[in-house]
Amino acid sequence: MKDKNNDSKILRSQYIPTSEFYSQIIDSLQDYSILTLDNELKINSWSSGSVTIFGYESDDILGKSFDIIFTDEDIKNGIPQKEIDKALKEGRAVDNRWHICKDSSTFYAYGLVFPLTGIDGEMLGYVKILRDLTERKKAEDAIKNYVSELEELNTHKESVLAILSHDLRSPLSSIIGTAQYLKDNFDKMKPEAVKEMLTLLHSSAINELNMLDYLVEWARIKYASETFSPTKIELVKYIDKVFETLKDLANLKAVNLHHEIEENESVFADSKMLLSVLQNIVSNAIKHTKEKGKISITAKRNLDKLVVEVKDNGIGMSKEIMDKLFAPQMSSLSKARAENKGAGIGLLLVKGFLERNGGEIWVESKEGEGSSFYFTLPIEQPTDKMDNLNQLDFN
């Protein structure tokens, strides 16, 4: 009679997976990086999926510190050790974060770390499993940016409608009223009074036209994305062009326009937008600079961006004004228009243009000492910039 227990043992032994079997399973998971660490947090095994994702061959990475796959910022914040501490305390540590590859590129990953113990409970090290979620992260961020852009467009749409109904309608009513008065009383009025009212009408009409120009330009950047055409531009040529355009305005106050931009210094931007940015900032500086003042433009490189400074020694501004300068509400736009003839919406336009070109703007100022407007633009064409509005396809 056969021993059933013995047959059962033989049958089970035929299906016991070997270490090679497990290794083949691990290496077949190309979307996952699976690595193990010893008790000193040195990498002692490295799956083929890890090679694919990180770019390190096994010979390059074995024996290296666990820190090698973390970004400098995470290392500075002690993230690798915090993961280990949490895994020891809770049995596992889970997080989503950016990791760094051999070629210094980064990818976003789901990560899991847990302790590795032997049969007798002895501590052997740790296992870390990573799954590349970069494309998913980009898609989520793109959707968030798209939603944010839609919200911004809606906010600006309301601002434009408010400007049209208030900042344009009210002055137009005054212009119509003045013209009506001239029409009804022209024969009774003295020539000097007629001339004074016509001068007022002319000035008001020009201000209205300037405001409309601002709105048209703003609408062009916000809604007509097909007109956006960035190229490599020599900055000095556009500064010279703006200085030439504004020299008469500067001469009225004996303001000195000066720049220290090198001939070969360039940026990657839309030419019309760059011209509008420079013209708005410099013209505002002239308006707020005292007689015989000075406006200078300088630039310096910061990684892949050029930082341009437009500095004046004018009246300066308070912190309260600076905080609201690039996010004007209806009341501040009206006040800016009354005092500066369109400066408020002009800076709103500048901010939109710079952001469209991958740049930003900020200001530093002291009352009575002057202001420095800083803006950035990319030096070269960005290779990884995604235009959410143009490239996202929602079914």
- Please determine, for residue 385, whether its predicted confidence score (pLDDT) is greater than 80: no
Looking at 132, 149, 165, the residue that finishes a domain is 132
Question: Same domain, yes or no, for 152 and 111?
Answer: no
Six-digit token pair at 376? 């950035």
Question: Same domain, yes or no, for 21 and 168?
Answer: no
pLDDT at res. 249: 85
- Please determine, for residue 210, whether its predicted confidence score (pLDDT) is greater than 50: yes
**Better pLDDT: 69 or 28:** 69
Question: Same domain, yes or no, for 272 and 351?
Answer: yes
At 226, which CATH number?
A: 3.30.565.10
pLDDT at res. 157: 62
Q: What is the mean pLDDT of residues 85-100?
A: 90
Lowest mean pLDDT among 22-26, 43-47, 304-308: 22-26
Give the count of domains, the chain.
Answer: 2
- Best-predicted range by mean pLDDT among 12-26, 104-118, 256-270, 374-388? 256-270
With cut-offs at 50, 70 and 90, classify the pLDDT of residue 45. confident
Whole-angstrom distance, CA of residue 178 vs CA of residue 166:
18
Encode the chain in three state secondary structure: CCCHHHHHHHHHHCCCCCHHHHHHHHHHCCCEEEEEECCCCEEEEECHHHHHHHCCCHHHHCCCEHHHHECHHHHHCCHHHHHHHHHHHHCCEEEEEEEECCCCCEEEEEEEEEEEECCCCCEEEEEEEEEECHHHHHHHHHHHHHHHHHHHHHHHHHHHHHHHHHHHHHHHHHHHHHHHHHHHHHHHCCHHHHHHHHHHHHHHHHHHHHHHHHHHHHHHHHHCHHHCCEEEEEHHHHHHHHHHHHHHHHHHCCCEEEECCCCCCEEEEEHHHHHHHHHHHHHHHHHCCCCCCEEEEEEEEECCEEEEEEEECCCCCCHHHHHHCCCCCHHHHHHHHHHHCCHHHHHHHHHHHHHHCCCCEEEEEECCCEEEEEEEEECCCCCCCCCHHHHCCCC
pLDDT in tens, 105-160: 888 888 899 998 888 888 999 998 888 887 777 777 777 776 676 666 666 566 65
Question: Same domain, yes or no, for 169 and 106?
Answer: no
- Kindly state the percentage of the chain with pLDDT values over 90: 34
Provide the Cα torsion 328, 208, 297, 370; round to 10°: -60
At 23, which CATH number?
A: 3.30.450.20
Apex 293 CA angle, 288 and 294, nearest 5: 100
Looking at 76, 99, 132, the residue that finishes a domain is 132
- Best-predicted range by mean pLDDT among 12-26, 35-49, 112-126, 358-372? 358-372
Question: Same domain, yes or no, for 210 and 282?
Answer: yes
Question: Same domain, yes or no, for 77 and 151?
Answer: no
pLDDT in tens, 241-266: 999 988 888 898 999 999 999 988 99
Q: Report which residue type is found at 29.
A: L
Average confidence score pLDDT of the chain: 79
Question: Same domain, yes or no, for 212 and 349?
Answer: yes
- Please determine, for residue 68, whether its predicted confidence score (pLDDT) is greater than 60: yes
- Please determine, for residue 226, whether its predicted confidence score (pLDDT) is greater than 90: no
Lowest mean pLDDT among 13-17, 147-151, 187-191: 13-17
Question: Same domain, yes or no, for 54 and 164?
Answer: no
Residue 323 lies in a domain: yes
Question: Same domain, yes or no, for 309 and 169?
Answer: yes
- Please determine, for residue 272, whether its predicted confidence score (pLDDT) is greater than 90: no
Question: Same domain, yes or no, for 98 and 231?
Answer: no
* Polymer length in residues for the chain: 395
Whole-angstrom distance, CA of residue 9 vs CA of residue 72:
53
- Please determine, for residue 50, whether its predicted confidence score (pLDDT) is greater than 80: yes
Residue 379 lies in a domain: yes
48 in the Ramachandran plot: left (φ > 0), alpha (ψ -120 to 50) or beta? alpha
Six-digit token pair at 110? 């789901």
pLDDT at res. 15: 47
Domain that holds residue 37: 17-132
Residues pairing with 312 in the sheet:
295, 371
Whole-angstrom distance, CA of residue 284 vs CA of residue 267:
23
Question: Same domain, yes or no, for 147 and 125?
Answer: no
Six-digit token pair at 302? 């910061």
**Closest CA relative to residue 108, chosen from 76, 132, 81, 83:** 132
Residue 3 lies in a domain: no
Question: Same domain, yes or no, for 99 and 211?
Answer: no
Looking at 132, 158, 181, the residue that finishes a domain is 132
pLDDT in tens, 321-337: 888 787 655 444 444 44
Residue showing tokens 């002291």: 366
Q: What is the mean pLDDT of residues 32-54?
A: 88
- Kindly state the percentage of the chain with pLDDT values over 70: 74
Residue 9 lies in a domain: no
- Please determine, for residue 388, whether its predicted confidence score (pLDDT) is greater than 50: no
pLDDT at res. 395: 28
**Residue 386: HSE in the Cβ half-sphere, 13 Å Cα cutoff:** 14
